[in-house]
Structure 1
Amino acid sequence: MCPVDLTTHIAGITLRNPVLTGSGTYGFGEEYAAYCPVDALGGITLKGLTPEPRLGNEVPRLVETPAGLLNAVGLENPGLEEFLRSYLPKVRKLPTAVIANISGFSLEDYVQMARALQRDSGLAALEVNISCPNVKHGGMHFGTDPKSAEEVIGAVKAVTDLPIIAKLSPNVTDIVEMARAVQSGGADALSLINTLLGMSIDLDQQRPVLANTFGGLSGPAIRPVAVRMVWQVSQAVDLPIIGMGGITRWQDAVEFFLAGASAISIGTGNFVNPQAPLEILQGIEDYCAKRGMASVHELVGLAHVS
């Protein structure tokens, strides 16, 4: 079998391979070091950051569902100041591309975060989370209104020299409209999809299981929705896509590439199998090699070819 070039280019960033980890599922990189060597990955996306520290939502805030997970963690994080002081010095030494995920409850929050995180920080890009479905009064609004989405991406783009990856919500009527809006705002790449809004009810207590009532559904249950949205968006906008949503096996990853994604991100799969990124990467490489492909890029959008 021929060697396969796994090098991947996203928004001016060169990744050693197309396998990344999803925000909120990989901490700040150190947490998984004993299970999955960071230098084997194309990159990692850090736990979501907000300007101020957050304890997150009340417990319970996680519940398993058939083929998935509902989470209402609520953006628990140390806040921007503590991240810059205690986490960034360690993060910038990680031997892979590091993407910071930023969230906010106002336009000013996003601007503050973006202004503090520049190319000289050692980060590779900013993933702008405009699509968190389990935090009240913010986040979700920006991800469901095209005008607001374009505005926040434009504001972030104006104050940082890092590439901007817009993370899109599936909780919309028209995902293509949202993709076009953030492209107009200046996004350099897209990541999709974030979690779907869902809930679970305890039959004994006859009450919602999650203290927050609603949460974000992730895992294999949402993969068909994610693949469909990647397919639609890849045909509508000229931006590279990081596909995510229920990827737990290499077959899932290849499906996203065929639909139009240039890279993939593993989220909930990390909880089930901390070595999933390594196994998926090997599977992608083997799949390409068996088909005589010189580069993983040859897979991207191949299912669209008539």
Structure 2
Amino acid sequence: MLGPLTIPNPVMTASGCAANGAELHRFFDVSTLGAFVTKTVLADPRAGRGTPRMAETASGMLNSIGLQGPGIDAFVEKDLAWLMSAGARVIVSIGGNDPREFATVANRLAESPAFDACVGVEVNISCPNVANRGLVFACDPAATTEVVDRVRTQVPPGIPILVKLSPDVTDIVAIARAAVHAGADGLTMINTLLGLEIDTLTMRPALAGLTGGLSGPAVRPVALRAVWQVYAAMQAGDVPARPIVGVGGVRTGRDALGFLAAGATAVQVGTAIFNDPHAPVRVRDELAEELRARGLASPADAVGLAHRRIPEPRS
């Protein structure tokens, strides 16, 4: 369960790592996933940032794509319509340069003929690879509140809003609290971390945009920490309880199980897709086996389990 949404399994794609469905569908039926999360879409077409805009790092990668995309009108006409024809459960990731643009995108999405395929909206307030770092609304509770509040007025009741949070903050619990109070039905944690790589052959930054978003196995402990902290705050009553979607470095079913134990209800698979297009369905099947091996009847039985098994400190 993700708020009002029931999905058949807890594994999704992560936004930006599988385009908008058709590319991944060549490898497996995207309708078999818990949900397919689209690339973040803005109101207008965007070319993205200059090249090079991807670089490999130790246990991960940096990307500085810059939210390249066709704009919401072309997206709903082509990409969302195709996903609906494929029978996919779609969570559309939306972005904006300001709170009004977020609302505009949400409105056009909700009014589109293919909106029936949409089972949720992921509000990307935390992308770290845009040119203006001031656009990272997830760094400020007031900005988070304004964006989520505006989107909530445009998304029909019964369609859950998931707010995607950034790890590049001092207190992620405060941002989570603001998002939930503004109307978020769930939280996605985490987006990529802001990073930089130096090409020591040229002695220049590896990315044309200098910094980019770090993803992959290197960020998994950070993502687990964020999920753990927010879930603990929910259990303590400091944040109203909402489902959490864990994302960051999930490569295996065991990785996914760790996120569930930390407090996530579902997970997203992202960077692993680049070298293994079958990763989402493989993780789904491996997670099911990991649960069976531990005598857990369903993913829900694993959610938050690690909080109830905190080891006693050793003297």
Task: Confirm or deny that 1:14 pairs with 2:6.
Answer: yes
Give the equivalent residue in structure 1 for 2:128: 133
* One of 185, 205, 214 as aligned partner of 1:208: 205
Contact 1:133 1:139 in 2 (8 A): no
Partner of 2:253: 250
- What TM-score results when the alignment is normalised by the length of structure 1? 0.94
In the alignment, which residue of structure 2 is the partner of 1:192? 189
Post-superposition offset of 1:107: 1.1
Structure 1 residue ranges without an equivalent (≥5): 1-8
User: Structure 2: which amino acid aligns with 1:132?
Assistant: C
Identity in percent: 42
Cα deviation digits, residues 189-247 of structure 1 (max 9, x gap):
00000000000111122211100000000000000000011000112231100000000
Kindly report which structure 2 residues correspond to 1:249-288, keeping only aligned pairs within 5 A, or say none: 249-288=252-291
Amino acid at match of 2:250: I
Does the 8 A contact of 2:73 with 2:108 survive in 1? no
Q: Is contact 2:131-2:209 (8 Å) kept? A: no
Partner secondary structure for residue 47 of structure 2: coil
Matched with 2:312 is none
Q: What is the CA RMSD across the aligned residues, in angstroms?
A: 1.3
**CA offsets, 1:55-80, max 9 Å, x none?**
10000000000000000000010001
Name the SS of the counterpart of 2:6 in structure 1: strand
Correspondence for 2:90: 98
Q: State the shift of 1:84 in Å.
A: 2.2
8 Å Cα contact 2:2/2:160 also seen in 1: no
Matches within 5 A, 1:222-261: 222-236=219-233, 237=239, 238-261=241-264
CA contact (8 A) 2:97 2:135 kept: no
Q: Which stretch of structure 1 is more off in the superposition, 290-299 or 193-202?
A: 290-299
With 118-127 and 77-86 compared, the bigger mean Cα shift is at: 118-127
Deviates more, 1:136-145 or 1:253-262: 136-145
Moved more, 98-107 or 283-292: 283-292
1:5 corresponds to: none
**1 CA distance for matches of 2:32 and 2:228?**
28
The SS at the match of 2:85 is coil
Contact kept? 2:53, 2:209, Cα under 8 Å:
yes
CA deviation string 1:249-305 (max 9, x = no partner): 111100000000000000101112111112211111112112222221100000011
Residue 155 of structure 1 pairs with residue 150 of structure 2? yes
- Pick one of 25, 40, 53 that aligns with 1:48: 40
Aligned match of 2:173 = 176
CA drift of 1:138 comes to 6.2
- State TM-score, norm by structure 2: 0.92
Task: Tell me the residue number matched to 1:28.
Answer: 20
CA distance in 2, matches of 1:254, 1:165: 21
SS at match of 1:15: coil
Conserved 8 A contact 2:137-2:143? yes
User: How big is the shift at 1:186?
Assistant: 0.6
Count of equivalent residues: 298
**Cα shift at 1:131:** 0.4
Question: Which residue pairs with 2:305 in the alignment?
Answer: 302
Indicate yes or no: 2:141 matched with 1:146. Answer: yes
Cα deviation, residue 139, structure 1: 6.9
Give, in angstroms, the shift of residue 53 of structure 1.
Answer: 0.3
Quick check: 1:44–1:98 contact (8 Å CA) kept in 2? yes
Deviation of 1:137 (Å):
2.9
Q: Which runs of 5+ in 2 are unaligned?
A: 234-238, 310-315
Instruction: Tell me, yes or no, if the aligned pair for 2:31 and 2:89 is still in contact at 8 Å.
Output: no
